[in-house]
Amino acid sequence: MLELYHCEPLGASANLLICLKEKGLTYKSHHIDILKLENHQPDYLKLAPQGQVPVLVDEGKVFTDATFTLEYLVEKYPSPRLAPSDPSGWYDVQALFNQIDMPLSASLRLLGWNLVMLPSMSQAEKDDLRKRIAALPPRPQQSGWAQVTSDAEASEDQLENARERVRGVATRLEKILGASPWLAGSDYSIADIDAYAQMRTMPSLMPADINEQKTPKLMKWLSVIENRPAVKAVLAMRKDGKDVYAPPGV
């Protein structure tokens, strides 16, 4: 049986949740609360020594890299395909992964923590999180969380650098979507799932840059994907029915 260890349906966790749902695969869901550092508990670290989330387990084999796991699911469970069948199309998918994942995942973390998560936490909650982090083993767990808390206290220059990376990706996606309704070939694929999982909160985090006037094709693409039954089902798994990185009131 497939098992998925995941946090909220956002970023890499959303990637795998949506892919599994689109393929109609049955799996056992394990929700990992990363704010409580559940991914650094001894039992979880036996599964994923670096504390990675998400993690897929299939027939005893553990997959800790979400992007490679998307590709694995395409090949292991080929219906529906969710990927080009030709080598050129696969190149396009993998090139998009390379060009989009790193700038967007880092920027999402930076903007989300600084603009949404930190303001929503009480001082007691912030202090408790820092105590939990300080109690982690020095490496690699503590160093990873130190980067998160550093991001959460970013300067305006750092935030603007993150926004600029998002603008660059948005411009690229807008251009691609001007020529095709999907990002890699003529059909919906894991390239769309991956980019959607990263971009879906950006209209809320960066409304002055990602909107109907400046990025109309991107906004339409986001809406089309958001209305797919599988995606709706995954988004319904959100904690308290709200986006993790949605500004207050959204």
- Tens of pLDDT along the chain (250 residues) come to 899 999 999 889 999 999 999 999 999 999 999 888 899 889 999 999 988 999 999 999 999 999 999 999 999 999 999 999 899 999 999 999 998 887 788 888 888 888 887 788 888 888 888 887 777 776 555 444 555 555 555 678 888 999 999 999 999 999 999 999 999 989 999 999 999 999 999 999 999 999 999 999 999 999 999 999 999 999 999 766 555 544 444 4
Specify the pTM.
Answer: 0.89
For the sheet with 55-58, list strands across it: 27-31, 2-6, 55-58, 61-63
pLDDT at 142 (0 to 100): 47
- Domains of the chain (ranges, CATH numbers): 2-76 (3.40.30.10), 87-228 (1.20.1050.10)
C-beta separation of 19 from 192 below 8 A: no
- Smallest Cα–Cα separation from 115: which of 153, 165, 146, 166? 153
What CA–CA distance (Å, rounded) separates 103 from 63?
22
The tokens 């959100």 sit on which residue? 238
- At 83, list the tokens: 């990927």
Residue 91: how many CB atoms within 10 A of its CB? 12
C-beta separation of 140 from 147 below 8 A: no
Single-letter residue type at 194: D
The tokens 């095709």 sit on which residue? 180
